[in-house]
Amino acid sequence: MRKNIAEDSGPSLKAPQSHQISAVYEDAEGLIELLVTYFKEGLEGGEYCLWVSPDKLAAEGAKSELMKAGVDVEHYLTSSQLEFLPANPLLEDLTLLASAVKELAEKGYGNTLSGGFSGFRTNFEIKNTGNSLKPCLETCGKAIETMALEKNKSITLLYTIPLEELSGRVLLELMEESNVFAKRKGKLESLRILEEKIELKNNFLKAKTDLEASNWAKNGLMVNMNHELRTPLNSVIGFSDLLLEGAFGSLNTRQSKYVSNILISGKNLLEIINYLLDISMLETGEKNLNYEDVDIASLLGEVRMSLISFASSKKVSVEVKVDASLENIRADRTKLRQILYSLMNNAIKLTPEKKKVTVSALKKEGMLEIKVSDSGIGLSKEDHERMFMPFIQADFSTTRGYGGTGLGLYIAKNFVDLHGGNIWVESKGEKGSTFIFTLPIK
């Protein structure tokens, strides 16, 4: 059964400031849907409707379709608000055609006034006009404009045009008009709006393609730059370590301070390069996970040892608690290590001297749950979501002194998401923050 046309018709067949509208249709079913939408709107608006139909059989079919659309056809026929008129062949001479259209319009308008209806609407089928369709519509429109109409009465003429008779040139001309409609995906839309939508879609697709090409070029550059920067940077870090260890002779206090600054800056820069490479891989759709059995206690101990020097320099202690009943989990060990490193590194940065960072791991509701708590400044509720955005830190007035790019937490969240887990933060005023994430155990 055909759907209720009134529900599917989308925008109504109205053309502001115009007495005539046109609609293009593909087949007989499309034509009947157009006409039902058009006349139902008129009947519900209190207008006198004259449906011009090819023959009696078509008129009966029209009545049936109106009833399917919820129209009380018998009521409107009895009250003379709705009539069906057999169609006469339209004249090819434009002047005679305009006169015929005007004559029918005047007759219908007379019935509108005598019956006390709010307006008048009817329809015409336009065929065999070739490239003169637009002049034909313009001529008919001028004829209607010469009619004397009362201010509170309306008159509307619908011209239906079979799509198969339209050349590309004529169709383009129609697209420039605001009162020409067509059915698309079950809805009636203005051809001009449709053209604008198509143009907008094409522009969007082009912009998307250009953006994707730009991203690929940028990410390719990132990968190459990563290699080019890593090599000299590793040398800077390595030789700084050797100098501090006294491999080339002892350093005085000032020299040690400067070399230590070089080492710290080098490690920070290497961290940023690693983060940018991870982001590039995520943006290119690199989402592969290399699952393996991971001993959480062992991995947490490994990450703690890699950060112990940084923590000691701040006189911050790092305490790790792992539930004895927690078994190995299936995860990408490298990415899980980076999640833990980012969260623990962030906690150490935010924790004041002589305070403590606590890390706990346990099994909860079939998931691995890891909490990383700092003793820092805490976070406002507004910052809870922002903390996981790239290049974002919490309130800059309070975190500027802690350094960092704001990339670590963003990457950690992406890696947690890849594993099918969740990550969030809890904070109570100035009592520190706790970053929590969960991962499926198997």
CATH of the domain at 242: 1.10.287
Mean per-residue pLDDT over the chain, rounded:
77
pLDDT value for 89: 59
Q: Are residues 279 and 315 in the same domain?
A: no
Whole-model pTM over 0.75 = no
* Domain termination site, one of 284, 318, 348: 284
Q: 157 falls in which pLDDT band (50, 70, 90)?
A: confident
Report the 3 state secondary structure along 353-420: CCCEEEEEEEEECCEEEEEEECCCCCCCCCHHHHCCCCCCCCCHHHHHHHCCCCCHHHHHHHHHHHCC
Q: How many domains does the chain have?
A: 3
CA pair distance 263, 355, nearest whole angstrom: 25
Average pLDDT over residues 232-237: 82
Distances (CA, A) of 10 to 124, 384, 408: 22, 42, 48
pLDDT digits (tens, 9 = 90+) for 397-427: 344 444 455 677 888 888 899 899 999 988 8
Lowest mean pLDDT among 184-198, 267-281, 352-366: 184-198
Q: Do residues 226 and 277 make contact, with C-beta atoms less than 8 angstroms apart?
A: yes
Inside any domain, residue 121: yes
- Which range of residues forms the domain containing residue 415? 292-440
Beta carbons within 8 Å of 142's beta carbon, 6+ residues apart: 98
Q: Which of 347, 343, 271 is nearest to 316 (CA)?
A: 347
pLDDT digits (tens, 9 = 90+) for 314-354: 899 999 999 988 889 999 998 899 899 989 988 998 899 88
Instruction: Extract the tokens encoding 249.
Output: 């002779």
- What CATH number corresponds to the domain at position 157? 3.40.50.300
Complete DSSP assignment for 79-141: TTSEEEEE--PPPSSHHHHHHHHHHHHHHHHHHHHHHT-SEEEEEEE--S-GGGHHHHHHHHH
pLDDT digits (tens, 9 = 90+) for 378-389: 777 766 666 777
**Alpha helix stretches (DSSP H) within 146-284:** 168-175, 191-245, 253-283
pLDDT value for 330: 92
* Domain termination site, one of 268, 284, 300: 284
Q: Which residue pairs, CB below 8 angstroms and at least 24 apart, start in 401-407?
A: 402/349, 402/350, 403/268, 403/349, 404/346, 404/349, 405/272, 405/275, 407/272, 407/275, 407/276, 407/279
pLDDT value for 294: 93
